[in-house]
Structure 1
Amino acid sequence: MDTFQNTIPFVDISRPSIEEPVQSLTDKFGRRFEYLRLSITDVCNFSCQYCLPDGYQCNTSREFLNQDELLMVVKAFAQMGTKKVRITGGEPSLRKDLVDIIRQTAQVDGIEQVAITTNGFKLEKDIDAWVDAGLSSLNVSVDSLDARQFEMITGDGRLQSILRGVDKAIQHGLQVKLNAVLLKSLADHQLPMFLNYVKHNNLTLRFIELMQTGDNKAYFDAEHVRGEEIEARLAELGWVRKTKAQWAGPAKVYRHHDYEGRIGLIMPYSKDFCADCNRLRISSLGKLHLCLFAEKGLDLRELINKSIKQHAPQLLVEEIRALMGQKHATHYLDEGYAGATQHLAMLGG
């Protein structure tokens, strides 16, 4: 009897011993989506020249997804293999319940990375609480390291506080990225300043090509500069491209042996930019955007609440899978098409 018992392993039949494998979310082009950008507000308190030059205009519903709705969205996407959730706005730190949103997102089974994109105006004060809640990655929009130019671009004068917040985030061990929109009028002056900054700071500075949206055509025509120009200058200075990290976005990232930090380039007008797309977007009003520049958002809010009432994320999962058939191969930006995106604050980029 002892011999028999020793050869048969004990199996606890009170619960499954092996979890069912997650079926990845894919589209008809074979792209796999493990990254969700989740907007929690479209309100922003900055007035960036390329996004909201006249400031935020309260001309849409402000009945943003509540915590229960946001949690249901994350649970549904986690069931489809999503590993990374980025909380965006507008400016997400304008939500008083941001810490709770970070915490509940981080606690969902299957979610391995919780990130946030912010303009940084609350960063110095709130970064400790965000980290305690489960934040693992941080993107901060810093379009200039010159205080005067920063205020000219954003309409805000808190650059030094934002940079102190960035320092605190690095000390916490977060993955930190600074985002700077490439502007033709500032490109020559900005690059040396940013290179000097990343020399001794362990973060990634990402230059993002200015994108045309529904309300910025004149500004786009005047200020757009191709990222390939910066890429060529980096090559001349000895920068070498890194291998893309898991769940990474579309940036090409470069490193240099003399620099602690890295330089990234996001070039949406470059060839095959959409070939390895890996993210979907949910707006603060509960619309699924299959692309930042999709023709329209696909309203999921009624189904989100039905899923909550029935405790059935699978309802939402099935609908999202069905809607993936509408995703296009590319964004058509190079043809001057901006879709429903009037400004980037609508979806946090």
Structure 2
Amino acid sequence: MAEPHEDYPAVLTDAHGRTVRYLRISVTDRCNLCCRYCRDDSVPFIPHENILRFEEIEKIIEIAVTLGVHKLRFTGGEPFARKGFLDFLIKIHRRFPQTALKLTSNGTLLAPALDTLKELGVSVNLSLDSLDRAKYASITGKDVLPTVLDNMHRMLELGIPLKINAVAMRGVNDNELPALAAMAMDWPVDVRFIEFMPMGDSTIWSNNLFWPAADILESARRHWRLEPVALRRKDGQGSEGHTAEERGPAKLWKLITPEGQVSKGSFGLITSVTQSFCQSCNRLRLTAEGNIRTCLFDDREYPIRDALRDKGEEEVRRIMIDAVSRKPVGAEILAASNGPVAHKRMSAIGG
């Protein structure tokens, strides 16, 4: 196949005119934490023989790149819970040097990989829902916050591009907004609060726990003046903000203190529930067991593991093009739902 490039012709366009350029890859459903909003520890992990082999993921990446994908995000579970993941990441970087590589992690297992992540130019989204040690342990099931913070500071020292994601939960971490958002004052990071999504049959989501973006924004304005972060042109000219692709679904603001100090990073909101960003969705998901999922809220999945093993690349290519052509508008699924919008929990879908 041809050498991948960011400008490889886009093939994956859906019926709504949206073009897929971004593939999120779950390399495992296993995780060393058990976050209450993500995973139900009563549900067994996928047997290892049923998940995609690394060489199969590499082949699917190759196919996706030739269809126009130029950004990859590796998720889990926790990606580093899978043995050999760092070696695999190095191989993917060497094989597809012009493809942007990103990683979502809980930060607990990163220490041995940090120098390599810096060398590879991998950016990291760090899941961090609380800065209170006891509360962190309550949310995640483990008292490992000091390890996460140590690794976070090391990433900042190394200059690894870093975003911090906190799932916003009323009555759980709403009183920590000042402390979490203040990290953007001191460091060049985006601290994003994600609306809690009603995902999975056994979800703990409820109206009492749901903390909508409008209320989060009001809370932030009690502490800072907020200045919207302007978009930067893709060629890097103009504003010092992010490009639309770098920003993703987040709405970002600079924090400004009463004394006029401006934050080094940004405060962000990802309004997954109250303000849809489906019209600009450019992503596909590859689950650990080898299914393509076109929409987070839609349980329809398109198996490609067996197709790859039995029929080869062209069949996988056909399935991916067909799946994207059927990609729904997630906001419509959410609006029509009287309960969880998907049967699977987040840990089974991939970050």
TM (normalized to structure 1)? 0.85
Q: Which has the larger radius of gyration?
A: 1
Q: Distance in 2 between matches of 1:337 and 1:282?
A: 25
Deviation at residue 273 of structure 1 after TM alignment: 2.2
Q: CA deviation at 1:33?
A: 1.2
User: Matched residues in 1 for 2:104 and 2:8: separation?
Assistant: 31
> Could you tell me which residue of structure 2 aligns to residue 267 of structure 1?
271
Structure 1 CA distance for aligned equivalents of residues 128 and 72 of structure 2 = 22
Indicate the residue corresponding to 2:160 in structure 1: 174
On the 8 A contact 1:85/1:111 being kept in 2, the answer is no
Rounded Cα–Cα distance in structure 1 between residues aligned with 2:291 and 2:175: 39
Q: What is the deviation of 1:37?
A: 0.4
Aligned to 2:259: none
Residue 7 of structure 1 corresponds to which residue in structure 2?
none
- Partner of 1:220, secondary structure, is coil
Match of 1:222 in 2: 208
Question: How far, CA to CA, are the matches of 2:141 and 2:7 in structure 1?
Answer: 51
Determine the structure 2 residue equivalent to 1:158.
144
Q: For residues 94 and 85 of structure 2, what CA distance do their matches in structure 1 show?
A: 14
SS at match of 2:102: strand
Q: For 1:104-183, what aligned pairs fall within 5 Å after superposition?
A: 104-109=91-96, 111-132=98-119, 134-183=120-169
Match of 1:96 among 66, 73, 83: 83
| Residue identity matched to 1:84 | K
Give the letter for the 1:348 counterpart.
G
| Deviation of 1:219 (Å) | 3.7
Secondary structure in structure 1 of the residue aligned to 2:217: helix
AA at the equivalent of 1:247? E
Instruction: Compute the TM-score of the two structures, normalised by the length of structure 2.
Output: 0.85
Assess, with a 3 A threshold, how the Cα gap between structure 1 residues 106 and 254 changes in structure 2: closer, same or farther. Answer: same
Change (3 A) 1:337 1:75: farther
Check whether the contact 1:251–1:267 (CA below 8 A) recurs between aligned residues.
yes
CA contact (8 A) 2:13 2:20 kept: yes
Q: Aligned equivalents of 1:20 and 1:41: distance in 2?
A: 30
Q: What's the CA shift for 1:187? A: 4.4
- Write out aligned runs for 1:1-349 (5 A): 22-52=9-39, 54-55=40-41, 57-58=43-44, 60-62=46-48, 63-109=50-96, 111-132=98-119, 134-235=120-221, 237-242=224-229, 243=231, 245-248=243-246, 249-256=248-255, 258-306=262-310, 313-331=313-331, 332-334=333-335, 335-336=337-338, 338-349=340-351
Q: Give, as a single letter, the amino acid of the residue that structure 1 aligns with 2:209.
A: E
Q: Say whether the 8 Å CA contact 2:184–2:191 is kept in structure 1.
A: yes
In structure 1, what residue type is equivalent to 2:55? D
The offset of 1:124, in angstroms, is: 2.5
- Report deviation, 1:306: 4.5
Deviations 1:146-168 (A, max 9, x none): 11111111111111111111122
1:72 touches 1:307 (CA, 8 Å); kept in 2? no
**Aligned residues of 2:26 and 2:76 also touching (Cα < 8 A):** yes
CA deviation profile, 1:54-89 (whole Å, cap 9, x unmatched): 536325433211111010111111111111100000
**SS state at 2:186 partner:** coil
Distance 1:136 1:85 in 2: 10
CA–CA distance in structure 1, aligned partners of residues 309 and 98 of structure 2: 21
Q: How many residues align?
A: 327
CA contact (8 A) 1:180 1:208 kept: yes
CA distance in 2, matches of 1:337, 1:34: 31
- When residues 60 and 340 of structure 1 are mapped into structure 2, their CA distance, relative to the original with a 3 A threshold, is farther
Q: Residue 214 of structure 1 contacts residue 342 of structure 1 at CA under 8 Å; is this kept in 2?
A: yes
Amino acid at match of 1:173: G
Taking the aligned partners of 1:245 and 1:336, their CA distance within structure 2 comes to 36
Is contact 1:27–1:327 with CA below 8 Å preserved after alignment?
yes
1:110 Cα deviation after fit: 6.8
Separation (CA, whole Å) in 2 of partners of 1:263 and 1:50: 22
Contact 1:296–1:339 (8 Å) recurs in 2: no
Q: What are the superposed Cα offsets for residues 167-219 of structure 1, whole Å, 9 maximum, x if unpaired?
A: 22223322201111101003441111113222111111110111112234554
Deviations 1:31-56 (A, max 9, x none): 1111110001111121212122x536
The one-letter amino acid of 1:204's match is D
Per mean C-alpha deviation after superposition, the further-off stretch among 171-180 and 275-284 is 171-180
Q: Secondary structure at the match of 2:208?
A: helix
Answer yes or no: is the 8 Å Cα contact 2:27–2:79 preserved in 1: yes
